[in-house]
Structure 1
Amino acid sequence: MEIFGYVASVFIGISLGLIGGGGSILTVPVLVYLFGIDAFLATEYSLFIVGISSLVGSFSYFKKGLVDLKTVFVFGIPSIISIFLTRNYLLPLIPDEVFHVNNWVITKDMFLLLIFAGLMLVSSYKMIQKSLELKTETVHSVKSKMILAAGEGSIVGVLTGLVGAGGGFMIIPALVNLLKTPMKVAIGTSLVIISLNSLVGFFSSMNHLKIEWGFLGTVSAIAITGILIGAQLSKKIDGKKLKPAFGWFILAMGIYIIINELFP
């Protein structure tokens, strides 16, 4: 199964490079089901893999001037604070047995994977939608838009902290619809925010776990290769056209995780 895991790692990077998000939603399932890593450690590894891959992928957008640093600050700071608090204070509060009725037990790993599966269902819905653009204009002041963006950043931080996903499926729609950021700039800005969130989350909680750096470095290097491939493909392929198909795949994966965890 490890061979399939390494192959899947390439596609994690490709999706990040091509559509600026969504790839991170695959990282935890790949680590859990193909590499056999427990869910809690998988969320930690996912933060590093997604963070490093997104950081490398953001370089080309920086060079082209397709990163809005003001938006990174407004969206990213609340997100970083949320992920730090979640990884260090909220996650440790979750007991090893979350729910226990007769012989039916939901463990901490199952609980995290079920949250992750729910996140995948929401993510797939966002991707399957034909367009991110709003059909009607909603009037917001600049100040209220910034407050809403900061609020969404906080939500993304909590989700990233819980399940190790970058949250690009929430970040890009917020930038495009709420802040009216052009799509190319939204992708570049999203990659920077994802990299900051993920790496802060990883390094703030890594001391609690034994990290296998050799394995983590290998998977990250493969994902980085994928993101470089995705960045090149983005010059020839419109990532928006691929999102619905990728969304259906994420939907199927989410349903599989729910069935696999609840009815093993």
Structure 2
Amino acid sequence: MTGLVLTIVGAVLIGVSLGLLGGGGSILAVPLLVYVADLPVREAIATSLLVVGVTSAVGVLPHARGGRIRWRTGLVFGAAGMAGAYAGGRLAALVPPGVLLTGFALMMLATATAMIRGRRDTGADAAPGPLPVPRVVLDGLVVGLVTGLVGAGGGFLVVPALALLGGLPMPVAVGTSLVVIAMKSFAGLAGYLSGVTVDWGLAAVVTVAAVAGSLAGGRLAGRIPADVLRRTFGWFVVAMGAFVLGGQLPAELRGDPVFWTALGGLAVVVAAGALLVAGCRRDGHRWVPSPVCRILRSAMAR
């Protein structure tokens, strides 16, 4: 019973992540279903694709009402992604589960780095023109292949592709990504169903909870500054990527308290450094003393 309650709570967070950030659903769903619901890796990935697909489709509604979706870009990207996702779902049967999860985590960390660094034109005033169709198709195929292969709905790849490469404003990239995620998730699920059985009862419970969360997250998305949204997304992905990678470590290392204490200390140092750097940014809202900022800038210049 405790496991079911935790799974439902986690599903609500999955929905909030999708509605608010345009991604992160599978980043939460796969670990949740593997480590809390105790599903086998491939069954967890297939279930996550179903949950994320339905939740993303429902989460599109508040973004559409708020005018935060580029339909042409989303539909072209999504159509290309569906082809890649179906192929990835079929290929996943040939890849060991541990390799799937490790590849999943490494992709999360690489993408998080890109999101945290950002680019200059991801703000609300970015150019409104659509992406060139060939580029959209190529990005969609690549992201779709990863989606189907590792069970990621693709938000952690789609949002950077739309915001960092395509120049869409972050709130619009978030809304548009939900269209793409829904299309690719269903295609990836179709690929998995050829060799995996889904617990439809559990999937229905998790989906209902995630949909409720996505509606709440969608209402909040338009009220949060784009830069804050992008950086929050990036650090969230870093944390989840580290968690998934930790789960793939040898059993004797996972049970060593010294290792986890050292890892926790490193995480605290990195987080503190990130907060200091953020506090020194030149936006008129600095809360870190100027001498500390000068020292940080000097250290980074070296």
Same fold (TM over 0.5): yes
Larger radius of gyration: 2
Q: Distance in 2 between matches of 1:232 and 1:125?
A: 27
Task: Indicate yes or no: 2:220 matched with 1:233.
Answer: yes
Percent identity between the two aligned chains? 37
Cα distance 1:25–1:143, how it changes in 2: closer, same or farther (>3 A)?
closer
Cα distance 1:166–1:124, how it changes in 2: closer, same or farther (>3 A)?
same
| Residue 118 of structure 1, CA deviation | 0.9
Q: Distance in 2 between matches of 1:92 and 1:121?
A: 24
| Residue 248 of structure 1, CA deviation | 3.0
Q: Distance in 1 between matches of 2:151 and 2:99?
A: 14
Q: What residue in structure 2 maps to residue 20 of structure 1?
A: 22
Question: CA contact under 8 A between 1:126 and 1:169: conserved in structure 2?
Answer: no
Q: What residue in structure 1 maps to residue 240 of structure 2?
A: 253
* 1:59 aligned counterpart, secondary structure: helix
| Residue 240 of structure 1, CA deviation | 4.0
Q: What residue in structure 2 maps to residue 42 of structure 1?
A: 44
Q: Distance in 2 between matches of 1:73 and 1:50?
A: 17
Question: Greater shift after overlay, 70-79 or 187-196?
Answer: 70-79
Q: Distance in 1 between matches of 2:16 and 2:79?
A: 27
Q: Distance in 2 between matches of 1:110 and 1:188?
A: 32
Q: What residue in structure 1 maps to residue 137 of structure 2?
A: 150
| Residue 220 of structure 1, CA deviation | 0.6
Question: CA contact under 8 A between 1:87 and 1:204: conserved in structure 2?
Answer: yes
| Residue 252 of structure 1, CA deviation | 3.1
Q: Distance in 2 between matches of 1:184 and 1:87?
A: 29
* 1:262 aligned counterpart, secondary structure: coil
Question: CA contact under 8 A between 1:19 and 1:239: conserved in structure 2?
Answer: no
Task: Indicate yes or no: 2:112 matched with 1:110.
Answer: no
Mapping of residues 77-226 of structure 1, within 5 Å: 77-88=79-90, 90-94=91-95, 108-129=96-117, 131-134=118-121, 145-226=132-213
Q: Distance in 1 between matches of 2:232 and 2:89?
A: 32
Question: CA contact under 8 A between 1:21 and 1:169: conserved in structure 2?
Answer: yes
Q: Distance in 1 between matches of 2:111 and 2:160?
A: 11
| Residue 57 of structure 1, CA deviation | 0.5
Residue deviations 1:63-87 (CA, integer Å, cap 9, x gap): 3443222212331222111111121
Structure 2 segments unaligned to the other structure (5+ residues): 123-128, 252-302
| Residue 197 of structure 1, CA deviation | 0.4
| Residue 60 of structure 1, CA deviation | 2.2
Question: CA contact under 8 A between 2:92 and 2:150: conserved in structure 1?
Answer: no
Question: Greater shift after overlay, 117-126 or 31-40?
Answer: 117-126
Question: CA contact under 8 A between 1:145 and 1:178: conserved in structure 2?
Answer: no
Q: Distance in 1 between matches of 2:121 and 2:75?
A: 24
Amino acid at match of 1:92: A
Question: CA contact under 8 A between 1:124 and 1:247: conserved in structure 2?
Answer: yes
Question: CA contact under 8 A between 1:160 and 1:198: conserved in structure 2?
Answer: yes
Of the two structures, which has the highest relative contact order with CA contacts closer than 8 Å and spacing of 6 or more? 1
| Residue 242 of structure 1, CA deviation | 4.4
Cα distance 1:143–1:249, how it changes in 2: closer, same or farther (>3 A)?
closer
Q: Distance in 2 between matches of 1:21 and 1:42?
A: 18
Q: Distance in 1 between matches of 2:41 and 2:193?
A: 15
Give the root-mean-square deviation of aligned CA atoms. 2.4
Question: Greater shift after overlay, 253-262 or 211-220?
Answer: 253-262
Structure 1 segments unaligned to the other structure (5+ residues): 95-107, 136-141
Q: What residue in structure 2 maps to residue 102 of structure 1?
A: none
Count of matched residue positions in the alignment of Structure 1 and Structure 2? 243
Cα distance 1:238–1:12, how it changes in 2: closer, same or farther (>3 A)?
farther
Question: Greater shift after overlay, 175-184 or 111-120?
Answer: 175-184
Amino acid at match of 1:200: A
